[in-house]
Amino acid sequence: METLKLTTEITFNAPKAAVWNGLTDPEMVKQYFFGTNQESAWMEGSPIVWSGEWEGKAYQDKGTILEITPGEYVKYTYWSSMSGLEDKPENYQTVSYQLNEKDGVTALIINQDNIKDEAAKEHSDGSWQAIFGGLKKLLEEV
């Protein structure tokens, strides 16, 4: 079965270090990611876990850090407990965040693969924009 890929970008009027902190600091993540708890050592091979409650239902999404260049780039596997898919390797997606800064403006480029269909791709894009739109608001209000 052929799957889809997604690339989306969000621009922040903030330095790269501030955006990276927003992606990796659990207290910041909780502020813009609908109260989600994020846990990771942010090292290659380490687990990454997101947990919380969405519309009254507990969830725990997870993955493993595949590659990381602190402050610039991270690539991880991702499986969502809300996906309805069994927790097995073929149901994991790969997600990456790349930060590029120019003149104090930082672009966050998100890549995601193994998306099952166009509806799921649109849902993912909307989710990324909503989640990181919250981070953008948080960073730019400072």
At 58, which CATH number? 3.30.530.20
- Comparing C-alpha atoms, which of 109, 75, 85 is closest to residue 3? 85
> How many domains, the chain?
1
Over residues 18-33, the pLDDT tens digits come to: 999 999 999 999 999 9
82 exposure class (CB count in 10 Å sphere: 0-12, 13-18, 19+): exposed
Report pLDDT for 55. 85
Report pLDDT for 1. 61
CA distance 121 to 39: 25
Give every residue of the chain whose pLDDT is below 70, as ranges: 1, 142
Residue that the structure tokens 């898919």 belong to: 85
Report pLDDT for 141. 87
Residue type, 102: K
- Expressed as residue numbers, the domain containing 42 is 4-140
Q: Is the dihedral of CA 11, 32, 15, 39 positive or negative?
A: negative
Residue that the structure tokens 């610039």 belong to: 72
Phi and psi at residue 139, in whole multiples of 5°?
-75, -35
